[in-house]
Amino acid sequence: MQKTYPGISKNIEDWKGNDIIEFQEDLKLRVNEYFSEKWFYTHYKTYQEKLPRIDLLNILSRYTGYVNWSDFKHKNRDQITIITEHKGSNRIFYILTAIALVIFIMAWIIIKTGSITTYRFCFVDKDSKEPVRNTKIEVAIIKDNESPILQLCDAEGCFAYKTGEQKIKFMVKAPYYFTDTITRILKKSKKTEEIPLKLNDYALMIYYYSNSKVNDWKKRRDQLDKVIADSAYICQVFNKGMMGMELYNKYEFINMLTTPARGLRNIEVLDMLYTDEKITTIRFIQNYTSR
């Protein structure tokens, strides 16, 4: 360019509109190639770590009197030192970035671990306020976009859960109590809480009928007839080691439950559903070892 335009600045970064146009014209004249003004600003007016494409480097090399880019590099190999300098600075940059990332992760782990607290929830009878002890209480902890986490309560009717979150949601299921879903806002100042459970009178009635001696069988049948829907689904699930299940209609179940000689005994109700205050589903097992 200085051969054609002697007054042009030696620093390409200083070239402006008319200088760039003259460069485009000289490039066209000498090697019959063309660079857009946008390309010039991208590669000469702003810092770029990467070189232009090889075809563009070949054009510039031909413009400056070389066969191609390889010829330029070969004849100027003693002057090419910038690449190793950039590599060293990039390496330091990556090392410092990695150290900063490790420090951030460690700080996050420390903060997260420090915020984890163990909370304890105990279940009590809603009416009597007495602990629901020595029975099987199942808890399913519910989280968004995850399968429930299942836990069993201890003999005192309690379960413990470690978390750093501010809220917990779980479903509780206990024999002879209504299944309920509980949501609590967690506070470190209140690490233990009592949760009331509502007694399932119908399930308890069936349990008593199967485990107690009653002389007035007709009264027992009338009571069961009133609380069980005519189309109820009633299923006996066999204990571990016994295959399958057995289905009853309403009247078969009542007959078996009110027949002293060959009736159902020691029933444990697993599930019970209702519609319009009538039992529509009963799932139960018999505890044969208690007979």
CB-CB contact of 281 with 272 (8 Å): yes
What pLDDT score does 111 carry?
63
What distance in Å separates the CA atoms of residue 229 and residue 227, rounded to the nearest whole number?
7
What pLDDT score does 197 carry?
94
Q: Write b or e for each residue in 220-245: b if 16 or more Cβ atoms lie within 10 A of its Cβ, otherwise e.
A: bbebbeeebbeebebebeeeeeeeee
What distance in Å separates the CA atoms of residue 27 and residue 25, rounded to the nearest whole number?
5
What distance in Å separates the CA atoms of residue 226 and residue 229, rounded to the nearest whole number?
8
What pLDDT score does 268 carry?
83
Q: Which residue has the tokens 């003004």?
A: 37
What's the pTM? Answer: 0.52
What pLDDT score does 85 carry?
47
What pLDDT score does 12 carry?
85
Q: What structural domains and CATH numbers belong to the chain?
A: 12-83 (no CATH), 117-197 (2.60.40.1120), 201-290 (3.10.450)
pLDDT in 10s for each residue of the chain, 291 residues: 888 888 888 888 888 888 888 888 888 888 888 778 788 877 777 777 778 888 888 889 998 989 898 989 888 887 776 554 445 556 777 788 888 888 888 877 766 655 788 999 999 999 999 999 888 899 999 998 889 999 999 999 999 998 888 899 999 998 889 999 999 998 888 899 999 999 988 888 888 887 776 667 788 888 899 999 999 999 998 876 666 788 999 999 988 888 766 567 778 888 888 888 899 999 888 876 554
What distance in Å separates the CA atoms of residue 268 and residue 265, rounded to the nearest whole number?
9
What pLDDT score does 55 carry?
86
